[in-house]
Amino acid sequence: MGNMLKTAVLMASITALFVALGALLGGRQGMVLALMFALVGNAFSYWFSDSLVLRMYNAREVDAHSAPQFYGLVQQLAQRAGMPMPRVYVIDEDAPNAFATGRNPEHAAVAATTGLLRVLDTNQVRGVMAHELSHVRHRDILISTIGATMAGAISALANFALFFGGRDENGRAVNPIAGIALAVLAPLAAGLIQMAISRAREFEADRGAAELTGDPLALAGALRRIEAIAQHGLPFAAAEEHPATAQMMIVNPLLGGGIARLFSTHPSTDERVEALTRLAQR
């Protein structure tokens, strides 16, 4: 299944889960309240996430004079993609990584750590930044915000059920055992769907980067290098202080194994490299 179609199916799934849970636990009124509660929090995130995240990472904006090679590389990619020029930032961290933020291509920013610019060659940096521009081009911030809104609404309904008990559309009390089971399992299911959406968007951004640069193997090499350094224990202090932002990075800086992979916002690097290698072979 193509990643765009997969995203659409997953978005429909999380919406259906919300509707079903709302109907069983809160009725129509409960659904509306939960959705409004989630919308308020995520609307703020959608409009102001770029400035908040850049401030969290102490990112400094650069231009053609302060970082001519890096800025020029991003500028060339943006022109090739037919996109507005994003703001460009550098983060003073040894751990190699990068991310994009902004609600749309007209209000976007890309950032890379000094470690990434130091350890990757020019073609690999180009691949990484093409990946980040693909996120902007595909409006992945909007998609992830909608997913987070629905997941937040499901959690709100579940919390309501745990504390006050569920009510169906006709106001009758829901079976308490069924209510508790739904309250526990629904947020878990929503979280898994949200992670799956994020993983599908990573594959799509990798494909977009390969098309934009014409060099899938450069991005594959960059992913290998970034993960290898992370696995050797080089800390990314800002990401550890703000773990919720780790999903924005091109490679998750908070690597984990076992069951943690089930809840990972990123596909495994092996899967991503394999997909990029297939693109290169075409």
Q: Which residues are catalytic?
A: 132
Task: Tell me whether strands 87-91 and 98-101 are parallel, antiparallel or unpaired.
Answer: unpaired
Give the CA angle between residues 115, 203, 77 to the nearest 5°.
Answer: 55
Helices (H), the chain: 3-25, 27-56, 68-81, 114-119, 122-137, 140-164, 176-213, 216-231, 237-241, 269-281
How many Å apart are CA 104 and CA 83, to the nearest integer? 11
C-alpha 151/C-alpha 145 separation (Å) is 10
Task: List, in order, residues 6 or more apart from 157 with CB less than 8 Å away.
Answer: 18, 21, 22, 25, 26, 30, 31, 34, 186
Give the residue among 73, 222, 51 at the shortest CA–CA distance from 133. 73
Q: Rounded CA gap, 150 and 34, in Å?
A: 9
Token output for 280: 């290169």
